[in-house]
Homo-oligomer: A and B are copies of this chain.
Amino acid sequence: MLSTEQIIDAMSEQGLRITDQRKTLARLFGEHSGYLSAKDVYEYMCKKYSGLSFDTVYRNLRVMQELGVLEQVVFEDGMKFKASCSEDHHHHHMICLQCQRTYPIQFCPIHLADAPEQFQVVTHKFEVFGYCKDCQQSTSDEEQMSTKSGGGR
């Protein structure tokens, strides 16, 4: 997963200005490996920037996603973001339902599927949901972020 520095460098190289807010965003996603909703990000950022507006958060999330430093995924309860995987080969994810951190799965089932021969495959989605090692015993809410982020879905 991209580090804080890699995120900042990528944004800088693309000519984006590195504002204080964007540094904080980079750090948030660089250090937190789970998925975050726009609201999660807004609430987190609000603690530092009192006059923060929702639209700036959305704008920055969008810019960072278009730049490729963030990945955007649709869940049942809405859009979420996390730092892009730095793994360059195709892989899937296990996603923790508690802390929403992701763990790579190298195995890909796409060629094993009993496709109707006539079906021309374009893309696929394979995701495993459950509880990671840390979240099985301690269902307490002590996570990396002090805001409550888990529990969703």
Chain A residues with a Cβ under 8 A of chain B:
74-76, 92, 94, 96-97, 103, 105-107, 109-110, 112-116, 118-133, 136
Contacts and interface: CB of A to CB of B under 8 A. Distances in A.
B124 A115 contact: no
Nearest to A131: B120
A73 to B, nearest CB: 9
Contacts of A114: 105-107
A141 B121 CA distance: 20
Nearest to A153: B123
Given A105-B113, A105-B115, A110-B128, 8 more contacts: A94-B115, A107-B112, A109-B112, A109-B126, A119-B128, A121-B130, A122-B130, A125-B129
A119 B107 contact: no
Contacts of A97: 122
B118 A133 contact: yes
A93 B126 CA distance: 11
Contacts of A105: 113-115
Contact of A136 (B118, B123, B130): B118
B132 A118 contact: yes
B119 A132 contact: yes
A128 B103 contact: no
